[in-house]
Amino acid sequence: MLTMIVADDEPFIRRSLIQVFNWQEEFGIEIIGEASDGQEAYELCMELQPDILFTDIMMPMLGGLEVAEKLKAGQCRTRIIIISGAQDFSYAQSALKVNAEGYILKPVKLPELREVFQEVVSRLRGEKDQQMNVEQLRRQVQTHMPLIREKFLQNWAAGLYRDEGELWEKIGYFQLPFKPGDVLTAGVLQLDDYQSAVDKFSEDDKQLLYFSIQNIISECLEHPPGESLLPPVKMSL
């Protein structure tokens, strides 16, 4: 459900704008507030962060364009739809500069109003769907972060990173406790009679062996003060 605030200094017009459509049924919009002047509209938007501000251009305290400018400066993502009784084209140009999504002249014509809101709602839903997809991908990355981190360490140990800038960028991304100039020590473990042993193992047994070895190494290695210990890196098994 999208949210909207309606702002107009004339109570009758404000009420008419609120009642002109069944906003929830037709557009999936919930009206969460109304304002009688520009300052109130600005404060409500900063507090409630609605998806849309439907505002008159001429109001006490702050006009609709001034509200839009302040919201933009405050990095508020609320979309602005402006209604105006002024025929001066410079107002429409100003509306474009503050990224208004719609500029509707009075008297308001319902087909035009409906078309503007359909377009704005369609864009907003598309953006929200995209944002949800990005957030879902981020959650998936966080869920699999141990595996992704281990893969990076494997590639690093194998010498696959030739670009030092890329390497330090990845070290920063994985929040590894290193900085340029640190002295790093690597250890290599080789199992006795490795090949003859693993030839008898199923893949499940190999994975269990790997995790057992990893846990034993982590428990046995001491962690000197001021130094960091990374988990063992699986190269082959």
109, 153: one domain: no
Which long-range contacts (C-beta less than 8 Å, at least 24 apart) are formed by 11-19? 11/36, 13/56, 17/54, 17/83, 17/108
Q: Which two tokens mark 179? A: 């900085």
Residue that finishes a domain, picked among 141, 174, 191:
141
**Is residue 28 domain-shared with residue 134, that is, in the same domain?**
yes
Q: Is position 186 within any domain?
A: yes
Residue 228: what pLDDT?
Answer: 47
DSSP string covering 17-40, please?
HHHSS-HHHHH-EEEEEEESSHHH
The answer to whether residue 231 sits within a structural domain is no
Domain presence at residue 235: no
Count up the domains in the chain and report the number. Answer: 2
In a domain, 40, yes or no: yes
> What is the Cα 147 distance to its own chain's centre?
23
50-69 pLDDT, tens digit per residue, is 999 999 998 999 988 999 99
Same domain, 74 and 190: no
Q: Are residues 114 and 207 in the same domain?
A: no
Residues 6 and 37 sit within 8 Å (Cβ to Cβ): no
Q: What average pLDDT does range 167-172 have in this prediction?
A: 88
User: Are both 70 and 113 inside the same structural domain?
Assistant: yes
- pLDDT (0 to 100) of residue 227: 47
Range of the domain at 167: 145-220
209 and 137 in one domain?
no
Residues 213-225 have a mean pLDDT of 68
Q: What is the CATH number of the domain that holds 32?
A: 3.40.50.2300
The reply to whether 149 and 128 lie within a common domain is no
Average pLDDT (3-25) is 95
> Do residues 116 and 189 both lie within one domain?
no
